[in-house]
């Protein structure tokens, strides 16, 4: 849905809270290369999710007996928090992010299998991916102007749903 800002004394007012965040990100990064930002934000998100996924989770006997212990890890809580936060901002866009998270989860599990078979550590691979993603995102964001930490943090946290809003706008889909 296109942003519908009402101009009152040059201060835009928005119908939904998410539009304020998108407006701010548009003002900060609207002139940046969105493809580069998308790659950087996606790599950063994947790397951080993989690192959180690999934090050891306590094994409970009742979960092991039910064979449910493999699906419960810190990454599951991270995903739940992210999706809940995005769901409150923009439900339709949160489903698009959830789809991407599903794909990323598949690849993290594949990295776990690779590590189990003698490949590189998932933590090492995800750390490298996160650092590369942060560098790409920072360089793409810095092209416009100097970026402070708060603005950069907002890009990393709201960025995935904001970038999906750009895709929905291009496809003329409502969100």
DSSP 70-99: GG-SHHHHHHHHHHHHHHHH-HHHHHHHHH
- 72 within some domain: yes
pLDDT at 100: 96
Average pLDDT over residues 80-106: 94
End-to-end CA distance of the chain: 5
Q: How confident is the model at residue 69 (pLDDT cuts 50, 70, 90)?
A: very low
At 94, list the tokens. Answer: 């949160």
Q: How confident is the model at residue 71 (pLDDT cuts 50, 70, 90)?
A: low
- CA–chain centroid gap for 115, Å, is 24
- 58 within some domain: yes
- 24 within some domain: no
Please give the sequence-ordered ranges of beta strands (E in DSSP) within the chain, or none if there are none.
Answer: 6-8, 11-13
State pLDDT tens for residues 40-53: 999 999 999 999 99
Q: Which of 98, 56, 104 is nearest to 80 (CA)?
A: 98
Domain that holds residue 91: 36-171
* Percentage of residues in the chain having pLDDT higher than 90: 50
Residue 10 vs residue 79, higher pLDDT: 79
Query: Rounded CA gap, 167 and 169, in Å?
Result: 5
Rounded to two decimals, the pTM is: 0.82
pLDDT at 98: 95
Count other Cβ atoms within 10 Å, centred on residue 96.
20
- 28 within some domain: no
- 25 within some domain: no
- 1 within some domain: no
Helix, coil or strand: residue 14: coil
- 116 within some domain: yes
Question: How many domains, in total, are found in the chain?
Answer: 1
Average pLDDT over residues 107-115: 94
Whether the predicted pLDDT of 160 surpasses 80: yes
Whether the predicted pLDDT of 137 surpasses 80: yes
- 136 within some domain: yes
Whether the predicted pLDDT of 155 surpasses 80: yes
């Amino acid at each position: 849905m296109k942003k519908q800002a009402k101009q009152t004394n040059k201060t835009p007012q928005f119908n939904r809270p998410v539009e304020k965040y998108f407006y701010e990100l548009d003002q900060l990064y609207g002139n940046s290369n969105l493809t580069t930002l998308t790659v950087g934000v996606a790599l950063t998100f994947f790397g951080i999710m993989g690192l959180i996924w690999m934090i050891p989770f306590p094994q409970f006997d009742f979960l092991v007996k039910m064979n449910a212990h493999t699906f419960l890890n810190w990454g599951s809580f991270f995903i739940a928090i992210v999706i809940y936060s995005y769901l409150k901002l923009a439900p339709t866009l949160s489903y698009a992010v959830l789809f991407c998270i599903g794909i990323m989860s598949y690849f993290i599990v594949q990295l776990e299998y690779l590590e189990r078979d003698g490949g590189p550590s998932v933590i090492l691979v995800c750390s490298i991916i996160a650092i590369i993603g942060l560098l790409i995102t920072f360089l793409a964001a810095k092209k416009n102007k100097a970026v402070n930490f708060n603005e950069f943090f907002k890009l990393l946290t709201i960025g995935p749903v904001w970038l999906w809003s750009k895709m929905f706008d291009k496809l003329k889909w409502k969100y």
